[in-house]
Amino acid sequence: MTLGSLALRVADQLPFRAGDRLRGPGGQKLWRYSVASIVAVVVSEICLVVFNGVIGMSAWVSSSLATAIAAIPNYYMNRKWAWGKHGRSHILKEVAPFWVLAFAGWALSTYSVYLTEGYAKDHHFAHVWTTTLVAVVYVAAFGILWVGKFIVFNRLMFVHRHHQHDKDAHTVSVSTAKPAGVRVPG
């Protein structure tokens, strides 16, 4: 049993039939967005712990590097896999807003870990506990922006815009021919 099928089985037990929603295109997009987010969290957490806990860089430098590194696979996973966009990225409509959102998360997480590290040092936490607390606060800060980013990605950034000929192909044409047996005055 895969993780996805397990999630659907659990969702089917909910009173509002979340399983039906998860099986639809929006649910699949949300699922893929969630997986891309989990990958970004894992990459950034590993970077954060290595930079802060192992190398000994400050929390704000570690957070900055971790965010920048994790944003790269996160962008491509979201654009190509979650939203199914292919071809060249649009700098102003996709890349720039993505980095703005990534660094809004960076600003929130960096300020949060800066405060956390200061608190831990003021209270003489052991290095391992300081690193653990910094890592937890880092994830929590990004978690706050997670829902907002999904909405922005879904409604603004990775929207599939159809060309006019695509719209014309899906419209129903109304015939101006007269039905047999109908008499039109004139």
Give per-residue pLDDT as tens, 72-91: 999 999 889 887 888 888 88
**Which amino acid does the sequence have at 60?**
W
Give the confidence band of 160 by pLDDT, cuts at 50, 70, 90. low
Q: What does pTM read for this prediction?
A: 0.60
Tell whether the model's pLDDT for residue 22 goes beyond 80. no
At CB < 8 A and 24+ separation, what contacts does 47-55 make?
48/134, 48/135, 48/138, 49/131, 49/135, 52/131, 52/134, 53/127, 53/128, 53/131
Identify the weakest region by mean pLDDT among 35-49, 59-73, 101-115: 101-115
3-state secondary structure of 176: coil
What is the rounded distance in angstroms from the CA atom of residue 135 to the CA atom of residue 59? 9
In the predicted structure, residue 18 carries a pLDDT above the cut 70: no
pLDDT for 182 = 53
For the stretch 62-66, contacts whose Cβ atoms lie closer than 8 Å and that sit 24 or more positions apart, written own/partner, are 62/113, 62/134, 63/106, 63/109, 63/110, 63/113, 63/114, 63/138, 64/106, 64/110, 66/138
For 160, the token pair is 């599939």
What tokens does 66 get?
A: 């971790």
Q: Is the pLDDT assigned to residue 100 strictly greater than 70?
A: yes
Instruction: Say if residue 5's pLDDT is above 70.
Output: no
Q: 179 burial class (0-12, 13-18, 19+ CB within 10 angstroms)?
A: exposed
